[in-house]
Amino acid sequence: MRIHIATDHAGLEFSTQLQHHLAEAGHEVIDHGPVEYDALDDYPAFCIRAAQATIADQRAGVEALGVVFGGSGNGEQIAANKVEGIRAALVWSIATAELAREHNDANVIAIGARQHSFEEVTTFIDRFIATPFSNEERHVRRIAQIADFERDGSLLPDPRA
């Protein structure tokens, strides 16, 4: 599987270790993050590029996922989610990694590098990669509603209206 990763300075050390871990597991890793440490760098462009590459690969039929991380993972998740077709999930446990894939068919995982050990991070990412989407009708329906809103702003009727 192709894995697109991005970080800012807060996750640069994790990124290097993670690239080795994923490559050793047989994945093709493409880094969209910084090439050197800069305490003042900004994560949005890095994470958006990783998300764009992830969705471009998926639309081209290439099996791909994305991994973005920084200090908390929050901003990185927000940035990745600005890319049409991306469903980035903030993950902080094995359960959230599984549910992100099973229920939301998340295609990008966001993690706070300052919140977890490297061993925890690799466990979350490995589980995320290994977990398939359930394809349960209720989850497919909900994902379609999100995609509809993203595409044209449409929502289901307001039950209070």
What amino acid positions are annotated as catalytic residues? Answer: 76, 103
Indicate the SS3 state at residue 70: strand
Which of 55, 65, 50, 56 is CA-nearest to residue 7?
Answer: 50
The percent helix, strand, coil of the chain (3-state, each to 5) is 50, 15, 35
Dihedral over Cα of 37, 55, 143, 127: its sign? negative
Residues in the chain: 161
- Put residue 40 in one of left, alpha, beta given phi > 0 → left and psi -120 to 50 → alpha: alpha
Distance CA 57, CA 105 (A): 15
Question: How far lies 64's CA from each of 5, 35, 50, 126, 156, in Å?
Answer: 11, 22, 11, 14, 31
